[in-house]
Structure 1
Amino acid sequence: MEKRYFTIGMAGHIDHGKTSLTKALTNIDTDRLKEEKERQISIELGFAPLYEDDEIQISVIDVPGHERFIRQMIAGVAGIDLVVLVVAADEGVMPQTREHLDILKFLGVKNGIVAITKTDRVDEDFIELVKDDILGELTGTVFEDAPFVLVDSLSKKGIDEIKELIIKKLKEQEMRDAKGAFRLPIDQVFTVKGQGTVVRGTVYEGTVEEGQVLKIMPRGLEVRARQIQVHHKQAQKAYAGQRAAINLSGVSKEDLERGDVLVSSEHFIVSRVIDVAITVVEELEHLIKQRMPIKLHIGTAEVMGRIVFFDRNEVKEENGEILCQLRLEEEILTKRGDRFILRRPSPTETIGGGWVIDPRGNKYRFGDETISELEKKKVGSPKERITAALLEAKSLPLTELIKRTALDEETLAEHLENEDDFVLYNGKEYTLKQLIDAIEEDIYDRLRDFHNQHSMKAGVNKAELIQTMQKRFPKALLEFVVENGITNEVFQRKGQFVSLATFMPHVPKSWAKRTENLLEEMKKDGLKVRYLKDYFTAAGIPANLEHDLRRFLEDQGFIMMLDEQYAYYGGVFNGAVEKLRSGTGAEFEVGDAKEILDLSRKYMIPFLERLDANGYTKRVENKRVWKN
């Protein structure tokens, strides 16, 4: 069974015992900063390994509970698979408990456990009241059926029980997508002496390997994963669901910040205008007004922007989703389906959250027509969802398409088989016909430009051609398009070289006459030629053209190289071979050849060695034997 990786989060009001519970579960104090120790509150995210066996690995994030550190809290829980909602028995549900619940709901965290801490401070009757209080808050949320565990971090009461429950729940849960393109929203940047810049975060999707070339988005900086650590242990790879620290080369700490995203693919979209579906909190303190400033929390990024409505000018309360747009002051990296939180900058409060319908929003008119278009985008027909998934990934197997489109196999198969827009290649991968056409056009343009610049060369080395395009498209897809183009006579192949089907290597027009003169002179000199370089010089061929022209003339059979210095005109060489063959028997000696061709040793030995090299003859002691 493939190993699975998960990260859980501790959420709840300040001083309700999240850090103590984390320590009781992991034996690690996640409050590592001096200020955290002095003030006895969590300011930054804390991390610890919780459990590992052959089939599962679990990490813990302890998020700050204080309202001043809500950004850190959101950054921490944005990548979690299960939440432990921590409520102190002596205080019950508090304001930050409610806000954290809202945030978890908007971020789509569905798997939860309620930990009632500090149970040693109150009697059993009071604990029942606290349970009722919590149930009242959870009713109508995804956590209303979440199990309760009574714990005391000092006496270790309930610690084994909650740990076993976490493991059980996660063993029943699907892990994040480890097969897609790698994405890690950065929540910490720091330096390690002698190592350089290190970033840390939860791997949202995909896999990263040591030595892999990556990009920091939206900055577009290229970096290399010099070293990977998972919980302070070196690892060759990090997988979706894991907490990972990655030592990067090619970038300094000052170039990065929390909110940047480390990715392996250029297919992710960077945008400042996103179409979204939002839900607002149940009890808004203030109106949400048209074009009001908002603070968007997405992944680990925090970006200022404005909210734009198309069917209203304000929101006081709303039970359903509102389709609208966020216009941001800075670019973010996002994709369809990403969850986010919206907060009011002043006075600060969480006002809602939602998910990204389209990361490439346009400018729309106010009115029902726009809402109708956004509704279509939101729902997305099966064909649109398949197309969107393939546009992003370029090529996917059926199992991956099922995950990315959320369509059942039967519906998916029906559209893949009956739509001309989708192409199955290699017997297992799907792509879009429009992508095949676009890649073929790109290759066509590259080959045309190459032929214009290098008209004497047979074409482009196929392996090099594919390598230059591999950053944008999977290698297997590029191989398919090239071979498909050859089958359809758009391209042709000669050895390892690919060219346009209509292309014939030729001497550039500006040098054609001089090349004719060069060949005429070689033909006239017969078997007693000068140095080849002398012919080039006499014909006025520039030195920088000599190599390519010589290779072309040789490939096309216009000349035959004897060695590095001498060459015969092709027809002359062929005539000499026939003359020698006619004048000898099955075998001959050097003296026989000299007499028949009237050649000095200067030409004779290279000529005979060329016959051997070309497979006409074979040397046996002092004789040559004709091979055929």
Structure 2
Amino acid sequence: MRVVATAGHVDHGKSTVVRLLTGMEPDRWAEERRRGLTIDLGFAWTTLPGGEEIAFVDVPGHQKFVPNMLSGVGPVPAVMFVVAADAGWMPQSAEHLAALDALRIEHGLLVITRSDLADPEPALTEAKRRLAESSLASIPHVVVSGATGEGFDSLRAALSTLALPPPDTSADVRLWVDRSFSVSGAGTVVTGTLTAGTLRVGDELLLHDSSVTVRGLQTLGCKQDLVPAVARVAVSLRGVERDSVSRGDALLTPGRWLMSSTVDVTVPPELPSQMMLHIGSSAVPVHVRPLGTLAARLSLSRPLPLRIGDRVLLRDPGRGSVLAGASVVDLDPPVLKRRGAARARASEIASSTPAGLQRKFVHRDRLRAMGLPYGDAEWQVDPSHWKALRGRLVSEVDNWPPLQPGMPVAAALQRLEVPAALIGQLVTEAGLVIVGGRIQRPGGVALPKRVETALAELSRDLRATPFVAPEAKRLTQLGLGTRELAAAVRAGRLVKVADGVFLLPGTVELARRVLARLDQPFTLSQARQALRTTRRVAVPLLEMLDRMGVTERLADSTRTCP
């Protein structure tokens, strides 16, 4: 379906063109027909000669109704720009063109109407001159007369061949509501122009942070189970009160949009500080904070579902005129506190990298919600920041308090501000390991020099008498307290047999060889004598060997060692 806004003319000139094309009256209100003045949005549709359907959104032309006009042209991808031959280019023509140009609408058709009342050439020449300086510079034109019907076949043919970009029917839905009403048996119904995505009966959508269900769909007056973009669509909603939805609201694919109340934009310079932001059918007051010559920060009076690359229109509410178009470059901009931060931010915005990608870490779902390429990786990481983090992690681990079993993962997450899903990858790339929830070097935790010296002396004692564990007094003399001994065990330098009982690694194998030479089975006393140790060591050592399966305790408390 083709959806076209009709703009450019203040009175019934454009409405007459739509009416003759479609056989439908676009002016919905009696006052509009009585005054010959379009006040609100009008809607009509028809089938073109080639069989393609086309829908029209007829927008007001008078300056008093600029907000209504903008809510109509905002979501529409093309325009039929109407200029009357007998009136020529008018102030509202310039205003409509300014809005269309600010929104960068590039597709459309220039129609010179009422050609039976005046020579169309002057109006055509002036209109083409004006359009040449806008986004509509290359659109074709036709000349018609509503009174005689002249040119309408050419107009239908031109509309049939109107080149429009193909819609993305798989995109996330953002349907800007331009009308809402109640229908008996259907409940609350909203209408809008679906520019991307696909709607289906039964879909769950988001409205004001609440889930709503698509109860029914119509397009061009016909019920449908599925409506792909681009289309004019009426959506019957389940569980929605009529008063809870109005023009400017949006139906959204759940979980796919960010609601933004502060955005950075590229924009022409010297704007008023208080403006109205228009996007889709929505109009929101905003405060403008200039960041640089061509950048500004907009603070919205209420959050809107926006995406990076969205084109918005800014209007001075006092003057009522269109002043500028702006492009959204960041939906969650950084706070500006330091002196010169605004200028630095403007430089970032001017860079070729989208502002949403200037973050250190961005999750794939957030990239999608921003409207940016998101790829297959769960996280997108700034390469230079990632490289710096690897070095920082190694330094943090090496400087972690000695005698502790490495740096806790939770501490690393907090200090480095790394997403939890990425800590394993960072640890691996930094050449480290995670053991028991702590990050350390592969060889274990390095011991302080004083502990190494004490262990060297203790090792000499134990090599001479392997099963004579040092007494507490000896350990204290060497400066080996509870923390030092625990660190030595974690580092594999000692084996803890029991509280206060420490031996060298390899003692288990040595004990097995000694006990295997005894007559089997053997008693505790025989084992103690063979190992040349005391009961303080022999009892817990044999119990440890039992647990390890090196020895087996029999019913009579003797043991065997295969």
TM category (shorter chain) comes to: 0.5 to 0.7
AA aligned opposite 1:344: D
Aligned partner (choices 325, 331, 346) of residue 371 of structure 1: 346
Indicate yes or no: 2:18 matched with 1:51: no
Does the aligned pair in 2 maintain the 1:16–1:88 contact within 8 Å?
Answer: no
Q: What pairs up with 1:547-586 in 2 under 5 angstroms?
A: none
Q: 1:560-608 CA deviation, whole Å, 9 max, x = no partner?
A: xxxxxxxxxxxxxxxxxxxxxxxxxxxxxxxxxxxxxxxxxxxxxxxxx
1:167 and 2:160 are equivalent in the alignment: yes
Q: For the residues of structure 1 that align with 2:308 and 2:239, how far apart are their CA atoms?
A: 30
1:267 maps to a residue whose letter is R
Of the three residues 67, 74, 88, the one matched with 1:71 is 67
- Find the aligned partners of 1:136 and 1:42 in 2 and give their Cα distance: 26
Deviations along 1:105-161, whole A, 9 cap, x unmatched? 1112101211001110013xxx22222211221222222232221111232111111
Q: Quote the residue 1:243 is aligned against.
A: 232
Whether 2:326 is the aligned partner of 1:354: answer: yes
Q: For the aligned residues, what is the CA RMSD?
A: 3.2
- On the 8 A contact 1:185/1:204 being kept in 2, the answer is no
Cα deviation 1:317-365 (Å, max 9, x = unaligned): xxxxx21111111111111111111111113221111221112233325
What is the rounded CA distance, in whole Å, between the counterparts of 1:111 and 1:180 in structure 2? 21
Stretch moving more, 352-361 or 267-276: 352-361
Change (3 A) 1:390 1:234: same
Letter in 2 for 1:432: E
Structure 1 residue 54, shift from structure 2 partner: 8.8
1:176 Cα deviation after fit: 2.0
* 1:586 corresponds to: none
Aligned-partner SS, 2:116? helix
1-structure distance, mates of 2:59, 2:356: 38
Matches within 5 A, 1:451-490: none
Q: Is residue 56 of structure 2 the alignment partner of residue 60 of structure 1? A: yes
Of 251, 255, 267, the match for 2:244: 255
Q: Which amino acid aligns with 1:352?
A: A
Select the structure of larger CA radius of gyration: 2
Aligned residue number for residue 137 of structure 1? 130
- Structure 2 contact 6–58 (Cα < 8 Å) conserved: yes
Q: Which residue of 2 aligns with 1:39?
A: 35
Aligned to 2:201: 210
Answer yes or no: is the 8 Å Cα contact 1:16–1:86 preserved in 2: no
How big is each residue's C-alpha offset from its partner over 1:71-104, in whole Å with a ceiling of 9 and x where there is no partner?
Answer: 1111111122221110000111111111111111
Q: Name 1:493's counterpart in structure 2.
A: none
- Aligned partners of 2:111 and 2:143 also within 8 Å: yes
- Paired letter, 1:202: T
Query: Equivalent residue of 1:175, what SS?
Result: coil
Aligned to 2:543: none
Alpha carbons of 1:392 and 1:231: their partners in 2 closer, same or farther (altered >3 Å)?
A: farther
Paired-residue identity, %: 29
Say whether 1:338 aligns with 2:310. Answer: yes
Residue 432 of structure 1 is matched in structure 2 by 378
Q: Which amino acid aligns with 1:257?
A: S
Name the structure 2 match of 1:460: none
Match of 1:189 among 180, 188, 212: 180
Check 1:146–1:394 CA distance in 2 against 1; reply closer, same or farther (3 A cut). Answer: closer
Give distance in 1, aligned partners of 2:61 and 2:363. 37
TM-score relative to the length of structure 2: 0.63
Contact 1:81 1:111 (8 Å CA) reproduced: yes
Q: Paired residue for 1:380, among 351, 354, 360?
A: 354
Q: Residue 74 and residue 381 in structure 1: after superposition, are their counterparts in 2 closer, same or farther (change >3 A)?
A: closer
What secondary structure, in the 3-state scheme, does the structure 1 residue paired with 2:259 have? strand
Please give the secondary structure, in 2, of the residue aligned with 1:119: coil
Q: Deviations over 1:410-438 (max 9, x none)?
A: xxxxxxxxxxxx87xxxxxx343469xxx
Structure 2 residue 23 is matched with structure 1 residue 27: yes
Question: Cα gap change, 1:95/1:379 in structure 2, threshold over 3 Å: closer, same or farther?
Answer: farther
Aligned to 2:100: 104
Q: TM-score, normalised by structure 1?
A: 0.57
Match of 1:177 among 157, 162, 168: 168
Among candidates 254, 257, 263, match of residue 268 of structure 1 = 257
2:80 aligned with 1:81: no
Instruction: Count residues in correspondence.
Output: 383
1:547 aligned partner? none
In the alignment, which residue of structure 2 is the partner of 1:299?
Answer: 280
1:5-30 alpha-carbon deviations (Å, 9 max, x no partner) = 33111111311611100011111111
Deviation of 1:61 after TM superposition, in Å, equals: 1.1
The answer to whether the 8 Å contact 2:205/2:253 transfers is: yes
Please state which structure has a larger fraction of its residues in helix. Answer: 1
Q: Does 1:391 align with 2:365?
A: yes
- Distance in 1 between residues matched to 2:98 and 2:286, nearest whole Å: 21
Post-superposition offset of 1:384: 6.8
Per-residue deviation, residues 451-483 of structure 1 (Å, max 9, x unmatched): xxxxxxxxxxxxxxxxxxxxxxxxxxxxxx9xx
Name the SS for the 1:8 alignment partner.
strand
Q: Which amino acid aligns with 2:6?
A: M
Are the equivalent residues in 2 in contact too, given 1:273–1:362 (CA < 8 A)? no
Distance 2:285 2:264 in 1: 16
Shift of 1:40: 2.1
- Structure 1 residues 27, 253: CA separation in 2 closer, same or farther (over 3 Å shift)? same
SS at match of 2:292: coil
In 2, the alpha carbon distance for the partners of 1:147 and 1:73 equals 23
Distance 2:228 2:161 in 1: 21
User: Match of 1:255, as an amino acid?
Assistant: S
Instruction: Provide closer, same or farther for how the CA distance between residues 34 and 206 of structure 1 changes in structure 2, counting only shifts above 3 A.
Output: same
Aligned to 1:288: 271
Please say which of residues 349-358 and 127-136 is displaced more in the overlay: 127-136
Query: Separation in 1 of the partners of 2:199 and 2:132?
Result: 40
Secondary structure of 2:25's partner?
A: coil
Kept in 2, the 8 Å contact 1:24–1:154? The answer is no
**AA aligned opposite 1:148:** H
3-state SS of the aligned residue for 2:267?
A: strand
Deviation at 1:204? 2.5
Tell me the CA shift for residue 240 of structure 1: 1.7
Aligned partners of 2:305, 2:55: CA distance in 1, in Å? Answer: 25
Question: Which residue in the other structure is 2:513 paired with?
Answer: none
CA distance in structure 1 between the aligned counterparts of 2:336 and 2:134, rounded to whole angstroms:
34
Partner of 1:276, secondary structure, is: strand
Structure 2 contact 309–328 (Cα < 8 Å) conserved: yes
Aligned-residue offset at 1:382: 12
1:6–1:379 Cα change, 3 Å:
farther
For 1:310, the equivalent position in structure 2 comes to: 291
Letter in 2 for 1:311: G
1:168-216 alpha-carbon deviations (Å, 9 max, x no partner): 123xx32222111111011111111232110000013211100111111
Aligned residue for 2:69, secondary structure, equals helix
Instruction: Name the residue aligned to 1:277.
Output: 266
Q: Structure 1: where are the runs of 5+ without partners?
A: 281-286, 313-321, 396-400, 406-421, 424-429, 436-480, 482-628
Give the aligned partner of residue 90 of structure 1: 86
The answer (yes or no) to whether the contact 1:210–1:226 under 8 Å persists in 2 is: yes
Task: Please state whether the residue corresponding to 1:17 is helix, strand or coil.
Answer: helix
Match of 2:162, SS?
Answer: helix
